[in-house]
Amino acid sequence: MSKVLVVDDTVSEMELISEYLRDSGYTVIGTTDAKEALGKIRQHQPHVVVTDLVMPGMSGLELCRSIKKNPDTNQLPIVVCTSKDQNLDRMWAMKQGADVYITKPFSREQLVCAIRSVE
């Protein structure tokens, strides 16, 4: 199965997403910080990134832009998993490089389907 990097500043959300993915057979790397995520991408070379949008410091949108601007990571699929459910939020995230956008709350099935759609 694929290796997934989960980025969410809320530890309980990161743990829930990680648990869902591990239970579905994925290897999971987690972090609560988007800047740290960039280092983990270089170190662990995940197959997919799952990120929240609203985080202190570097936001999920900034993380998307950084990943997509780097020639070494610009093909890395990004799944945004956020509580922001407005069409404008979805459109803006897709413009910044998100491949899939799902909103919280979500089911295990929704999350796994989102990841499978970009693997």
State how far the alpha carbon of 46 is from the alpha carbons of 1, 22, 38, 86, in Å: 11, 14, 11, 29
**Residues near 12 by beta carbon (within 8 Å), at least 6 away in sequence:** none
Of 87, 28, 89, 18, nearest to 54 by C-alpha is 89
Which DSSP state fits 119?
Answer: -
What's the pLDDT tens digit per position in 14-71? 999 999 999 999 999 999 999 999 999 999 999 999 999 999 999 999 999 999 999 9
80 beta partners:
51, 101
- Distance from C-alpha of 23 to C-alpha of 87, rounded to nearest angstrom: 31
- Which tokens belong to 52? 């929240």
Which pTM value belongs to this model?
0.95
User: Which domains are seen in the chain, by residue range?
Assistant: 3-116 (3.40.50.2300)
Is residue 1 scored above 90 in pLDDT?
A: no
* Alpha helices (runs of H) in 70-104, residue ranges in sequence order: 87-95
Is residue 109 scored above 80 in pLDDT?
A: yes
